[in-house]
């Protein structure tokens, strides 16, 4: 039994790392897409933004696919509940990500309809950036569940004050990732606009964080009692302050690193407040889906853990290699 509990906890942490990794990595290209109208004014400047994210975006989304696959294999009951209960929202996200990828390619080749493809790329970046946080907020505060672990609400059940506040916080964190990344990867007019936008996005982030704290005090005050929550909160605030300091000093790489650390801290808060729940039940806490009542068997978790111990270092090394190869600034419009 102790072995099973260890495996369940290990997979809870691994899935959290995968999802946090996806948020940090795909966050910057989603943020860049959402801010495209404010960063680039003509096709040459848009190409600068596209060139900055082209080598990375598809590899970044692998982290989401891997996290979803790990959730399916390790905690199938949670996977089934989330993907069936949030079906419409997740389908919207899926189609947005598909059209976003298509839009980048068609923008490059279909010069006559570049305005259309730019709009599709922006919309395909905005929608996931908003809905990911809303979905996470629902998982944290709880959704109506039956004894069979089935979701009993509807799409509009997901649009409540707490999830919407978390959605805004996630969106602002993604925007901060995007604007710091573009400032790091570009120069010229695009970089100047990114640096101007940074101050606004930086302020929006702390406002969204304050709003999220306020709604947490109202709806989930018990979640603020754990020490790890406050440790993670200190990481978020410290990294947020350093992000501004490095940006003001022109140290764009360090500014992006602090934005990423702040995002990681947000996931630390989620993990600290949500453990050991996977999907919280809003009515009866006994109906919540946890890592204990939703996991696969010990043998499955063991085999998967060995695969993860072999595979994850390879993925990390490959990701590091790609980012090292494509380091430095892209050629931008003057």
Q: What percent of the chain has pLDDT over 90?
A: 73
Average of per-residue pLDDT across 284-290: 89
pLDDT category, 2, cuts 50, 70, 90?
confident
pLDDT score for 83? 87
Q: How far apart are CA 22 and CA 315, in angstroms?
A: 13
On average, the pLDDT of the chain sits at 92
pLDDT score for 7? 94
- Please determine, for residue 267, whether its predicted confidence score (pLDDT) is greater than 80: yes
Longest dimension (CA), the chain: 63
Average of per-residue pLDDT across 294-310: 92
pLDDT score for 334? 46
pLDDT score for 38? 96
Which is nearest to 27 in space by CA: 261, 206, 251, 320? Answer: 261
Contact 21, 56 (CB under 8 A): no
What are 168-182's pLDDT values in tens digits? 999 999 999 999 999
Q: What percent of the chain has pLDDT over 70?
A: 99
Task: Give CA separation, 72 vs 67, 139, 225, 305, 310, in Å.
Answer: 9, 16, 31, 14, 19
What are 197-235's pLDDT values in tens digits? 999 999 999 999 999 999 999 999 998 888 999 999 999
User: Structure pTM?
Assistant: 0.94
pLDDT score for 303? 94
């Amino acid at each position: 039994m102790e072995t099973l509990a260890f495996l369940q906890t290990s997979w809870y942490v691994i899935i959290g790392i995968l999802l946090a990794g996806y948020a940090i990595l795909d966050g910057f290209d989603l943020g860049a897409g959402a801010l495209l109208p404010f960063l680039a004014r003509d096709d040459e400047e848009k190409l600068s933004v596209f060139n900055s994210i082209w080598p990375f975006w598809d590899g970044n989304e692998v982290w989401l696919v891997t996290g979803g696959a790990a959730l399916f294999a390790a905690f199938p009951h949670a996977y089934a509940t989330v993907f069936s209960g949030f079906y419409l929202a997740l389908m919207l996200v899926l189609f947005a990500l598909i059209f976003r990828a298509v839009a980048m390619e068609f923008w490059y080749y279909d010069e006559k309809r570049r305005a259309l493809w730019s709009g599709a790329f922006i919309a395909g970046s905005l929608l996931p950036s908003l809905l990911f946080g809303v979905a996470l907020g629902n998982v944290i505060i709880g959704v109506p569940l039956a004894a069979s672990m089935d979701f009993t609400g509807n799409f509009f059940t997901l649009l409540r004050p707490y999830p919407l506040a978390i959605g805004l916080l996630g969106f602002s964190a993604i925007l901060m990732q995007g604007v710091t990344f573009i400032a790091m990867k570009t120069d010229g007019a695009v970089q100047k606009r990114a640096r101007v936008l940074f101050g606004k996005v930086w302020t929006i982030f702390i406002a969204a964080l304050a709003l999220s704290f306020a709604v947490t005090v109202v709806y989930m005050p018990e979640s603020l009692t754990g020490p790890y929550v406050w440790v993670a909160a200190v990481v978020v605030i410290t990294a947020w302050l350093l992000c501004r300091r490095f940006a003001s000093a022109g140290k764009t790489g360090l500014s992006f690193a602090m934005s990423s650390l702040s995002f990681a801290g947000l996931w630390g808060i989620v993990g600290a407040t949500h453990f050991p729940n996977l999907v919280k039940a809003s009515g009866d806490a006994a109906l919540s889906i946890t890592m204990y009542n939703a996991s696969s068997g010990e043998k499955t978790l063991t085999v998967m853990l060995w695969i993860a111990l072999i595979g994850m270092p390879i993925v990390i090394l490959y990701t590091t290699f790609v980012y090292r190869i494509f380091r430095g600034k892209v050629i931008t419009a003057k």
